[in-house]
Amino acid sequence: QLWISMDYVAGTDAAQLLREHYPAGMPPEVALPIIHAVASALDHAHRRGLLHRDVKPANILLDAETSRIYLADFGIARPMNDSAGLTATNMAVGTVAYAAPEQLRGEGMDGRTDQYALACTAFQLLTGNPPYADSNPAVVITKHVTAPAPSLGEHRPELRGLDPVLARAMSKTPAARFASCGEFAQALQQQSRQPMPMATNDFRNQQTIAAPVPPPPTRHALPPLSPPPQQFASSPPRSSRSGALIAVLAVVAVLIVAGGVFAGVQLFGGDDHPSGTPPTHTMSPTAAGTGFSGRYRAEYGPATDLQGAAIPGGPAITGQWDVRSSCGANGCIANASYTGKSAVPVVSNMTFDQISGDWVAVGTGAVKCTDALNEAPTEVWVVFTLTPKPDGTLAGETTRSAVNGCSSVKRTVTFTRTGDGELSSVSDPAGLPPRTTSPASTLHGRYHENIVYAVGGFGPGAADLQVRTQCLRTGDRCISAFHAVDGVVTLIFAGGKWTRTEEGTVPCALGGTTHVKITAEYPLPTDLQDPIPTLEGRGTNTSAGGECKGGDFTDKFIRTGD
């Protein structure tokens, strides 16, 4: 007796998701992980000699229970050696809106035929419409065969940089396309990280900004970004490279060709001088005996996340600081005031301490994430680490981390002395007390996080992260930013314990979004060691406004190395 085994996918499909939540197109942070997963599934099929021939949003299923993406409906799939595109009645197989020219002409096909359909699918996910929309199928077919690839930029100017990648994947001849679907998805992902035109007051685009700040794009995302996998709110949310609260999902590759389902791999402030037009100041060496003092041009590199991956729309920028330093019994200390003219920085005054040869400054400010659910100002920690160089410059990096999920951004930075500046307006650091070392500084290195929910919760979650703790010079407050390729977990130390407070709108696999608030506490270990081998805490995930629910959880960070 013959029978068919079929997986039940408890979720929705990409077409429905697009129709109900993103009629004008998904943010790249939502669409690109879907494309990446489907590309991986297609390449897996192609390596086994199987063509799908009907890739489209309606055949991409999002499983709420397993947080996987499935490429479904292999009903017209054929081996590559039987790849004719026409039926016995001379009708084209597949959905016309996504069919490749060779498929419509009944010519031989290979994996690049599915790549063309995936590119058409990507276009629709990003714009809300198929590439050649027309009520007459004959017109659509003609355009697939003869018309140039449409422009994403005409629908969404901020995505114009992706046009060359889509145009190649939608080439009329297979030979001109990418070698594989995965290569196409990777190129799309890499191009999305290149700077694209964005509002000049975007938090990620500037070193100096004026609040309020527009929210990062991923605040409106469903299954989010960064080529690595991410999941819906199945564990306490993390801030992604552009600030969304997203949790970790393990990478899983599964093939299920029973009942026509094929599983995909994972579900995943202003500028004084624009970059490229540097000021014409001539560098003058630091005056003898003054140390780190004078007026400095600060040249910031393009924005990245804490892992060093580029953030789209974060170009190199330039600022200006006046610095006054003093060396004495309390060590070498420098006060720095921002004297750029274009905007007000998040933190306009910083105090540097010379620690093991480097100049280190940690300060706090506030920005406003203009999200309807998060209208209160969010605390932002700004950290500079500068190393003196033989040519008189100071080079290093600066990071800014918002406590409540707005953003975590890193930039390289070089300070070049351009003159003496107006040091009379900078406070004298000579009277400042020495820097105080905090016990929280013992939390550093690589850690494995394990999250376990209580009965009725979501089940365990795990992640491997890296952390560096930075403290105010008073030592009473510190920030410990755990980060991995998929996001950031920010803990704030004060009063002998770390606290975690995150709130925002996150995607829900059951549909729509959920308002999530995460609170947790992690006491300083009584048997303090440097480094801390294990940090344990307890917290609550309060979710409202959607089908996804939260619960109480325990959270443990176990050190795995430096």
Active site residues: 54
Judge contact between 335 and 323, C-beta under 8 A.
yes
Rounded Cα distance, 206 and 215, in Å: 14
The helix-helix angle for 14-21 and 111-127 (nearest 10°) equals: 20
Dihedral of CA atoms 506, 508, 514, 516 in degrees, nearest 10, equals: -60
Rounded Cα distance, 295 and 285, in Å: 11
Please list the residues that pair with 231 across neighbouring strands. Answer: 247
Question: What's the burial of 535, exposed, middle or buried (CB within 10 Å: 0-12/13-18/19+)?
Answer: buried
- Phi, psi dihedral angles at 302 (to 5 degrees): -60, 150
**Cα-atom radius of gyration of the chain, to the nearest Å?**
26
Q: Max CA-CA distance within the chain?
A: 93
Q: What is the residue-wise DSSP string for 485-544?
A: TTEEEEEEEETTEEEEEEEEEEE-TTSSEEEEEEEEEEEPPSS--SS-SEEEEEEEEEEE
The reply to whether omega before 157 is within 30° of 0 (cis) is no
Please list the residues that pair with 522 across neighbouring strands. Answer: 498
